[in-house]
Structure 1
C-alpha cells in the first residue's frame, strides 16, 4: 500500500513544478521582458530627442558663427560700397578683399549676382562667370535660387548640398547669405556638416552600445531572478514532498498500528468472550452426553443441562452480534446513518454518565456507503474522545442534510484542548488526523474549535463527493 502511494508521487511533483513555472517563473519572465522593452523604447526615444537637441544647438551655434563671419566680410567691403563708386575696379578690389578672407581649409566666401551668375569662388574658380540659376543638387533642389531667395528676404541660413573642396565629395552644407543691393550682389559663406553628421553618428553608436549593455544587465538580472524563484519553488516543492512523504509514512504506520490494535481487540473478545462461552457449552454438552451414556433411561434429568447449553449458545450468538456490530453496525446499512447514530448514543450512554442527544435537520436523504461510514466513524471517534478526555456531561450530535452538503456536528461542554498543539504533536491526535484525511479523501471539510467551555467538531461532505487527490489531503 505504501509503495503504491510512492509510485503516485512523481506525477504530483511534476504538477507542482509546472505550477511553479506558470505561476512564478513565467509571469516574472514576462514582467522582465516588458521592463526590458519599455527601457529600450524609452532609451531610444531619449537618445533621439537628445540627438535632435544636440543637432539643433550645434546648428544654431554654427549659424550664429556664420552670421558673424558674413558681418565681418560686410565690414571689410563697406567703405567701398558706401563710396558710391560702381566702377569695375572698385568692385574687383572688393572681390579681391573677400577672396583673401578665409577661416580654415573649407571656410571661404562666395559672391553671386542676384540673377544667379557666379562672381567669385576662391575654391572653385571654374565656376566664375557661369550662370548657375538652374543648378540643382543631387536631391533635385535649386541651390542658387534658394540662396538668392534667402538673401533677398533680408539674409539667413540655408541648408544644401555642395562639393567639399578638401575631399571633392558632395556633402551637406549650412550657408549664410546676405544681399548687397547697391551692387546687386549676394554675399555668403558656409560650413560643411559632414563632420557634424559623423559626430552625431558616433553619439548614436555610443547610445546604442549603452542600450545593449543595459539590456544585457536586465537579462542577467532577469536570469538570476528566475533562477532564484525557480530554486525557491523547487525548495518549497521538496519541502512539501518531504512533508507529504512523512505524512504518508505516519499514516501507513497508523494503518498498521490500527490493524494490529483491531486484531488484538478481536483476539481478546474472541478469547475472553466467545471462546470461553463455547468452552462452557462444550463442557455442558459433554456432561449431558456422559449422563445419557451412563443412564440412558433417565432422559428427563438431561433436559436442564441441555437448556443450560442453549442459554449459553444464545450468549455466544449475542457476543458474535456485538463484535460484528462494532466492526460495522448493521443499522447503518438497514435503517441509515441517523438510526445508527442514535443506537451509538444509546450504547455509549449505557456505560457512562454522558447525556447524548442526537438530532436531525433538513430533508433526509440516503447516503452512499463511503460518506455514511465516514460520518459514523467521525461521530464514534468524537464520542469516544469526549468520554475519555473531555470531562463533559453533555454532548449534542446534529446531522444536517443541507442542499449541497451533509454536515455532522458534535458539541460538548467539556474542558477543551489545544487544537494547534495537538495537530503538530506526532504522538497525539492521530485519530483526529485520520478523520481529517478521511473527510479530505471525500472532498469534504473538517474543522475543530475548542475552548475551556467545550469543543465543537464539524465535518461536512458534499452531496456529490469529489475524487480524492493527494494535493487535497496535503492541504
Structure 2
C-alpha cells in the first residue's frame, strides 16, 4: 500500500469515526432535548390558558356578586338577571359560560340552548368522560380544571376543551367556562419542527465539516492562514453586496417600466373604453361591458402601481429616507390594520443612497415579519440622526421572538443583518420583558453639513 494512501487513511478514518460519533451523540441528546422542550412549551401554553380562564371567571363572579349576595328583587328575579348576564357574556371566538344545578340540570348555555332545562348528569363525551359529573366535582372542590371533549361552535365539531368550574354555594349552582385547546397541538408541532430543523442543520454542519476536512487531506493542505480566510470572506461579502446592488437596480428598472410604460398603457386603454362607454348611447349591453372593463382596468392599474411601489418606492429617490419610511408606515397600516407610530429625522447627504436603501429594506422586512408572525396591535418606528451615528428602532407589542438572531433566524433576518453590516452598521434583535420584539440598528453618519431635522408623527 503506498505511503500516501496509508497517510490518507490514518488521517481520514479517525476523522470519519469521530464525526459519526459526534453526530450520533448530538442526535440522541437533541432528540431528548426536543421532547423536554416541547413538553415545557405545552405546559407553558396550558398554564397561560388556565390563568386566562381564572381571570375571566373572577371578573364574572365580581360582576354578579351583588345579585347573589343581595338578591335585590327577590331570589327568582336575581337568578333571572344572573342568567341573562351569563348568556350575554362571551370572550374570544368560542368562549362562553354555562350553569348547572347540583342534580345536573342545565340552566344556562348560550351556544347550545337545547340543553337548557334538561338533566345531563350522565352525559359522556366521545371518549367516555362523564363531563357534568367531573365538572361538578371540580366545582365542589373549590374550583378546579377538567379536560374533556365538547362541541366547538366555530368548528362545527368536537374539540378538546379545558374547563373550569366553581360552585355558587348560596344557589347551589355550578358556574363553568373553558377554552378549546386543540390549537396547542399545532403550536407544539411548530416548536418541534423548529428544533428538528436545528438538529438537522447541526448534523449537516458536522457532515460538511467532515467533507471539508477530507478534501483538505486529499489536497495535502495542513493549514489555512487567517489572511487567506479573511480574503475569502471579503470576496464573499463583496459578491453579496454586488448581488444586492444588482437586485436593487433591477427592481428600480422594473418599477420604472411598470410605472412609466405598463401603467401609462393601461391608462390609455381606460381612456379608450371611457370613450366607448360615453358613445354607447342606448346600447345597454355595451355600456355594461364597458363599465365592467373599466372596473377591471382600475384594479389592474392599482395593482401595477402597488407592485411598482413595493419594488422601488419613488419617494425614496425623490424625497429621501424619512418621507419613504412615513409612506411605508402609512401603507402598512392601511393594508394590515396594525397601528404604526413613526418618528423619522432627515439624513440629507449624511447617508449614501445604498445605505438609505438598506435601512428602508430593513424596515420593510421588519414590518412584513410583524404582519406575518407577531400578532401585534401597534408598531413604533424611530429614526434618529445623531452627531456621528444614526439609530433606528422598530418595536412591536406582539408575541415576541422565540430565538435570538444569532441562534438561527430566518433568511429575512440574515438579509437584514448583511445589509446593515455592509455599510458598517450593527443590528440587534431582542424580546421585550413583557411582550413584543425590539430591533435596534446603528449606522455611522457622514459630516453633519446641511442637516435639517424633520419629525413625522
TM over 0.5: no
Which is greater in Rg? 1
